A and B are shown apart, each in its own frame.
Chain A
Amino acid sequence: MRACIRSIEYHLPELVLSSARLAEDFPDWPAEKIEAKTGIRERRIAGEGECSSDLAVAAARKLFAGGACAPETIDYVLLCTQTPDYFLPTTACLVQERLGIPTSAGALDFNLGCSGYVYGLSLAQGLIETGQARHVLLLTAETYSKFIDPRDKNVRTIFGDAAAATLVEGVEDGPPRGPTWIGPFIFGTDGAGAANLRVESGGMRCRGAGSPHLHMNGPKIFEFTLRAVPQCVGELLKKSQKSAGEIDRFIFHQANEFMLDHLRKKIGVPLERFSLAMRHCGNTVSASIPIAMKEDRDAGKFLPSDLAMLVGFGVGYSWAATLVRWP
């Protein structure tokens, strides 16, 4: 059995936060400057009572409506979020019930940010290729806006809320074994960077104390990215015995255009093979890579025969990279 990405859909909440609207709050940052630096024109913001499970359910319903499969066939739900509806129960359990996924399915949440989608693909592949599941629904859903201090222009101009749903399916093969659709993987973790992207309040360590807002030390995150991402790309090429020229599409976590443009030039990827898909939705954390994959597929930039490199990096620090084909 080989794991294979079968379908991707995503959902954005209705409320739009435009760069023009942000420029009203931050007069020294005109909309043109915000857009030029971030590459973002609009972010979508979840409503007051709209939570990660709501966005995830909407994305999954779109996937089912598109004919990818019926909810009854899902036998495992993996849900990546750092903004769960509750401390407990698990958001994946809420989603299972609302989507009509069988009670025989496994379901779990995992807490990662911008690297979460690549880790999710790794977990899904593990479940499928060891025979534990056949149809894995991988959901990445975030509402970071609920953490954001409206006066903090560094994060408010970047992050948007979203959810993506990916169906990872087991495909019969071999012997001899057929092509690999997902992998190999490179992983990385460095908890020394924990304080540079953090929400203190709400967890057990700072109960009733600490800041309830998302804190981001931009220069430190940039330093980490410059160190980790090129190295990660190099390691993945070495492990897969590929050259950069054999990669049809580079789909990185859509952090912001300033950072991605610098990374792209540093690594030496031509613009026409590099994904930029955040103008309409901002940095959507763990949903950003599947949103970019879907946008690229719809625009004819990521063909069924193409080999894509996915690289997720951020909060933790945590990073991961893999190669995928989406037939």
Chain B
Amino acid sequence: METRSMLAQAMELPKRKLTGTERLSEMERWDSMAMLNFMALVDAHYGVTLSPDHLVQCESVAEVEALVEETRNGNHAGVHSVD
């Protein structure tokens, strides 16, 4: 599942509703519950835990996608799962 699909699922939106240009701060559905959902999806899918401090700073879908990539590559302060 790609990051944008996970974001849409976390916010309970159809995937096609997210174009990638939205300002997350202007989306009512981007609340703490949606962030939790998104963190859980990313953890389950990629085995990495996003930093909530960095996630909350993301202004756009593209920035969230970049954060996920950076965390997966170990270039961010995200925490890798201990399995």
Chain A interface (Cβ < 8 Å from any Cβ of B): 37, 154, 217-220, 222-223, 226-227, 230-231, 234, 258, 262, 265-268
Contact = CB atoms under 8 A, between A and B. Distances in A.
Nearest to A29: B33
B2 interface: no
B36 A218 contact: yes
Contact of A258 (B32, B40, B51, B83): B40
Nearest to A230: B82
Interface residues of B, number: 19
Contacts of A37: 33
A231 to B, nearest CB: 5
A258 B52 contact: no
A222 B40 contact: yes
Given A230-B82, A231-B82, A219 B36 contact: yes
17 contacts: A218-B33, A218-B35, A219-B35, A219-B39, A222-B52, A226-B79, A227-B49, A227-B82, A230-B81, A231-B82, A262-B40, A262-B44, A265-B44, A266-B43, A266-B44, A266-B83, A268-B83
B55 interface: yes
Nearest to B47: A266
Contacts of A222: 36, 39-40, 52
B43 A227 contact: no
Contacts of B82: 227, 230-231, 234
Tell me what chain A mostly uses at the interface: helix, strand, loop, or mixed: helix
B56 interface: yes
Contacts of A218: 32-33, 35-36
A223 B79 contact: yes
A219 B44 contact: no
A200 B49 CA distance: 28
Interface of B: 32-33, 35-36, 39-40, 43-44, 49-53, 55-56, 79, 81-83
Contact of A230 (B33, B53, B83): B83
B49 A219 contact: no
Contacts of A262: 40, 43-44
A262 B40 CA distance: 7
Q: Which 4 pairs, one residue from A and one from B, show the smallest C-beta to C-beta distance?
A: A219-B52, A231-B82, A218-B32, A219-B35
Given A258-B36, A266-B81, A268-B83, 4 more contacts: A219-B36, A226-B43, A258-B40, A266-B83
Contact of B32 (A219, A227, A230, A266): A219
Nearest to B32: A218
Nearest to A235: B82
Most B Cβ at <10 Å: residue of A226, A230, A265, A268: A226
Nearest to A228: B82
Contacts of B55: 219
B32 A223 contact: no
Given A258-B36, A266-B43, A220 B52 contact: yes
